[in-house]
Amino acid sequence: MKPLLILPGWGFSPHCFQAIPDHRIPDISYAAAWHLDPEPWIAYAKAHAPLDCLAFSLGGHMLSQWLPQLAPYLDHIYLVGVSPHYDPKTLTRFKKTIVKNPSAVLDNFHTACFQDPSEYRRFHDYFQPHCRAMWSGPDLIQGLDQLNQPFHVKPLAEWTNLTLYHGQQDAIAPLRATQTLATALHTPCKTLNTGHFPFLNEAFQHALSQHRIAHV
């Protein structure tokens, strides 16, 4: 299978994706401002091509904007937990809450990302400290600003090798919105019994690995 370039999501650190075989995340993503500048990602992809690419949550928004530049270096694209639209009023209220207590907001967000208690405990014990260290209040707000930017459907709809995964219990990015996106992208949405963050779920890990092996 090809190496898998991962574009992480809001509130998560690159450490959280350790269970995914042969994944690649450039050093730039260890700063919370990873989503602001496509150039380091393009340079990394060019140096390590050919790559498959997995965009998670906010990462899907960035990929929709950056795909024209990344396209020469990518083969199969996976969108995981991606919603093309978030209500601006909800994001504004969320920002105000972050200003008051960013650590509590981040912790509550992480709790809502998991459907399985054992997966959440593993995340809490091993990965949440990295996320807290990486995402300050201003960084969280800056990340939400990116979700207000347009989601570009056309480049993804024109991509031949595209797969969508979404958790049936996703409390962050509603499944209905992603199913609508899947229709616009002319590709099915594969659903699993997970929450928003499926990367610690064994069924998802197996499904992703099998798909990558089958599409070398």
Beta strands 23-24 and 189-192, pairing class: unpaired
Read off the tokens for 132. Answer: 């807290």
**Domain CATH number, residue 179:** 3.40.50.1820
Total domains in the fold of the chain: 1
pLDDT tens per residue across span 67-85: 999 999 999 999 999 999 9
Read off the tokens for 21. Answer: 């075989």
**Apex 69 CA angle, 64 and 70, nearest 5:** 75
Establish how many alpha carbons lie within 13 A of residue 172's alpha carbon, considering only the half-sphere containing its beta carbon: 28
Sheet of strand 74-80: strand arrangement: 23-24, 4-7, 51-56, 74-80, 162-167, 189-192
- How would you label 67-104 residue by residue, b for 16+ Cβ within 10 Å and e otherwise? beebeebbebbbbbbbbbebeeeeeeebbeebeeebee
Tell me the residue range of the domain where 97 lies.
4-214
- How would you write the pLDDT of the chain (216 residues) with one tens digit per residue? 899 999 999 999 999 999 999 999 998 888 888 999 999 999 999 999 999 999 999 999 999 999 999 999 999 999 999 999 999 999 999 999 999 999 999 999 999 999 999 999 999 999 999 999 999 999 999 999 999 899 999 999 999 999 999 999 999 998 999 999 999 999 999 999 999 999 999 999 999 999 999 987
Residues 6 or more apart whose CB falls under 8 angstroms from that of 211 comprise: 78, 163
Cα distance between residue 54 and residue 39, in whole Å? 18
DSSP 42-82: HHHHHHH-SEEEEEETHHHHHHHHHHHHHGGGEEEEEEES-
pTM of the predicted model over 0.75: yes
Q: What are phi and psi of 132, to 5 degrees?
A: -65, -40
**Nearest alpha carbon to residue 54 among 35, 82, 29:** 82
